[in-house]
Chain A
Amino acid sequence: MAVSQHKKPLTFNKLGVTFTRTTALSQQSFHFQRQSILDGGLENMDEKVTLKVENISLSFGGVKALDEVSLDVNGVEILAVIGPNGAGKTCLINSISGFYRPQTGSIYFNGHQVNKLSPHKIAEIGIARTFQNIELYTGLSTLDNLMAARHFHINYGTLAAAVYFGKSHREEIKHRKICEEIIDFLEMESLRKKTVGSLPYGQRKRVELGRALALEPKLLLLDEPMAGMNVEEKEDMARFIIDIFEEKKIPIILVEHDMGVVMDIADRITVLDFGIKIADGTPDDIKANPMVIKAYLGEEFTAASAA
């Protein structure tokens, strides 16, 4: 089980992004900076709206989990969604991925009306996600979890599968290579053939990210990818998220409680509270927004950001 992984240095330069670790902050003692977007990276970016969420409401009996929530993802950006426990963040992700059906409102993605599609169709148009409480295929190996996510990219039928010769064999090899690239990218070589049910929590989170990538998404929804991780695992995860964004140019919606990470890597932040969107803006706007400070961040954060 011992994992001896190759680790990239914690400070490195990739595609003009400075990625640094500072140990000044208290508990979650690291700090990321994505400078390319902040200083002048914006003009290269595709400004068209990739995802448009319009006035969606979702309630369970008396509980209004989402109340007239709207948001856009513009081109390729990292949009963080934050809010206290029970604010409706997971419900928002679930609505976008088709897991839940909002009672009113609509969601558009690249010209498709998402909230009219079944979840597997939503995956096919390019929306992939990870889950807050890991939802892997526990009986399959890491590799097969990734291969299973390539399902609709792999092109052969039932009869060809039964024969497993010629086309089906070639397709399997082709997609195996793609999955191996993702395994290398996420530094999971040692987990390749391990049954994921037997992996520790942090590694399962990573496999789940790999599975979402294997879908070749055009939008990635990450629901608390760092929850429950130790500092080292969080650093790895943050680095992977930035790498995915920078190298693969995939827009990301990131739900995360770790304010340090959110403030460092998000281009924009949307704040939910009791199912209502209370703020939307750049990390600096959000830090300064009195509503947000009152509803969510509290004194603790204002002190930390001042430091």
Chain B
Amino acid sequence: MQLPSGTINDSYEKDMAIIRTRWQWVMFIGFVVLIFVFPAFPFVSNYLLRIINNIVIAMILVLGLNILMGYAGQVSLGQGAFMAVGAYTVALLGHKLGVPFWLSLPAAGLSAGIVGVIFGAPSLRVKGVYLALATIAAQFIILWIVRHVHAFGGVSGVPNPPAAIGTFTINSQLSNYYLIIVVAIIMTFAAKNIARSKIGRAFVAIRDNDLAAEVMGISLFRYKLLAFFIGCFFAGIAGGLWANLIGHVQDEQFPLINSIWYTGMIMVGGQGYTLGAIIGTFLLLGVQEIVVLYGPSLSHIPGVGGSGYAGFSQFLMALIIVLFIIFEPRGLAHRWQIFKSSYRLHPFSY
């Protein structure tokens, strides 16, 4: 890691800290304050809050997928389904048993994590494309179950009683914004910390050289499954927040295509960078929302059919992903790292 010039490591504590300089602290605190006062800005409409809520929920899921895919190197095309597990857990616990949200949200993470471990078990035998196929199975099996088994709500889905703090219910976009933001900050820290802990190192070891990792004392069995648990735990938390935001959970809210886009967000942002998961999600979903907003004007372009905007956001997202795969397969966060170290003048670059 390159440091700003003048920053000196005189202890391992300092060398290991994420936020190093006073300036970084100022920026960090300023950013958190900005997030919290953001809804007060005059240009922030309910519509914009809804978009941001959706993106931040996806970001939580992608942070988890980044641990699973970016760090541990295990592909999953079933994250949407694991999000469904979390969403249904919160809705069913709240609707049928009256469990409060602060209990059902962790339960959503746990249940999605456990289901993720089951569908992640093939990772003990196969890798790459085969693992991707095995995890797609989660998508079809889980969604079939919630759609056709009556206990899970069936075709009409499950209504979700909104979360409440005392008598205050979290059912507006604004109140959900604060709920989602607080959870997202906690999950971002957790993701970053897991990544730099012994667990993150074990995951990267497995990604880079699984056979050596096993011989050097890392149980592949344990850590591959743990990667699925953590990755799907994040998806479950995202699902739980989604249930509260949307108010009524249904199977078609979690299509396979979403699971595919999530992996695209990791690619664009940069595999194995926490920051990458964040910018990848905001970039791709931001593009999607912009198209939804301005897409209809596409039909004014001569030669493009009147319904040209239909599917145009997918067109753009796919194009962005392909361009990244060709020109910057290591993602934006990797670019950012290179940029940061090139403008810094730290004399001892070790």
Measured between beta carbons, the chain A residues less than 8 angstroms from B211 are 99, 135
Contact in complex: A156, B204 (CB < 8 Å):
no
In the assembled complex, the Cα of A198 lies from the Cα of B343 at a distance in Å of 21
A194 touching B350, Cβ below 8 Å: yes
Q: B-facing mask of A207-218, CB < 8 A → 1, else 0?
A: 000011001000
Contact A161 B194, beta carbon cutoff 8 Å: yes
Instruction: Tell me the complex Cα distance, A154–B201, Å.
Output: 12
Q: Which residue in chain A gives the minimum CB-CB distance to B212?
A: A135
Closest Cβ–Cβ distance, residue A122 to chain B (whole Å) = 8
A108 within 8 A of B: no
Q: Mark B172-201, 1 if CB is under 8 A from A, else 0.
A: 000000000000000001100110111111
Instruction: Encode A185-201 as 1/0 by CB contact (under 8 A) with B.
Output: 00001101110000000
**Contact between A123 and B202, CB atoms less than 8 A apart:** no
Name the one of B13, B201, B208, B219 contacting A118, with C-beta atoms under 8 angstroms: B219
Question: With A and B bound together, what is the CA distance between A219 and B200 in angstroms?
Answer: 27
In chain A between 225 and 281, which residues have their CB closer than 8 angstroms to a CB of chain B? Answer: none
Inter-subunit contact B198/A151 (CB<8 Å): yes
Q: How far is the CA of A195 from the CA of B340 in the complex (A)?
A: 17
Which of B208, B214, B215 makes the CB contact (< 8 A) with A139?
B208
Is the Cβ of B16 less than 8 Å from the Cβ of A148?
Answer: no
Which residue of A138, A172, A192, A211 contacts B16 across the interface (Cβ within 8 Å)?
A: A172
B214 & A120 in contact (Cβ 8 Å cutoff): yes
State how many residues of chain B have any CB contact under 8 Å with chain A.
34
The digit string for B273-290, where 1 denotes a CB below 8 A from any CB of A, is 000000000000000000
Interface hits, B199-256 → A, CB 8 Å:
199-202, 204-205, 207-209, 211-220, 226, 230
Indicate if the CB atoms of A164 and B193 lie closer than 8 Å: yes
- Which residue from chain B places its CB closest to the CB of A177 in the assembled complex? B12
Contact A158 to B201, CB < 8 A, known contacts A139-B272, A151-B216: no
Taking a contact as CB atoms under 8 Å apart, the answer to whether A123 and B199 are in contact is no
Contact indicator A148/B205 (Cβ below 8 Å): yes
Answer yes or no: B1 CB below 8 A from chain A CBs.
Answer: yes
Measured between alpha carbons, how far is A168 from B330 in the docked complex, in Å? 30
Q: Shortest distance in angstroms between A121's beta carbon and chain B's nearest beta carbon? A: 8
Cα–Cα distance between A106 and B242 once the two chains are bound (Å): 56
Asked if A87 is at the interface (CB within 8 A of a chain B CB), the reply is: no
Whether A138 pairs with B350 at a CB distance below 8 angstroms is no
Knowing A120-B217, A136-B209, A139-B207, the reply to whether A173 touches B13 (Cβ < 8 A) is yes
What string of 1s and 0s marks CB contacts (under 8 Å) between A167-179 and chain B? 0110011001100
Q: A136-B209, A138-B208 are in contact. Are A172 and B197 (CB under 8 A)?
A: yes
Chain B contacts for A148, CB-based, 8 A: 198, 201-202, 204-205, 213, 216, 218
Q: Could you list 10 further interchain pairs (A-B, Cβ under 8 angstroms) beyond the known A151-B217, A163-B190?
A: A99-B215, A118-B214, A119-B215, A128-B216, A137-B204, A140-B201, A149-B216, A162-B189, A177-B12, A193-B350
Interface residues in chain A, defined as those with a beta carbon under 8 Å from any beta carbon in chain B: 97-99, 118-120, 122-124, 128-129, 131, 135-140, 144, 147-152, 154, 156, 158, 161-164, 168-169, 172-173, 176-177, 180, 189-190, 192-194, 211-212, 215
* 23 A-B pairs (CB sep. < 8 Å): A119-B215, A120-B218, A120-B220, A123-B216, A123-B217, A124-B217, A135-B209, A135-B211, A137-B213, A140-B201, A140-B208, A144-B201, A148-B213, A151-B201, A151-B205, A152-B218, A161-B198, A161-B200, A164-B193, A164-B196, A172-B197, A192-B350, A212-B216
Q: B residues bordering A, Cβ < 8 Å? A: 1, 12-13, 16, 189-190, 193-194, 196-202, 204-205, 207-209, 211-220, 226, 230, 272, 350
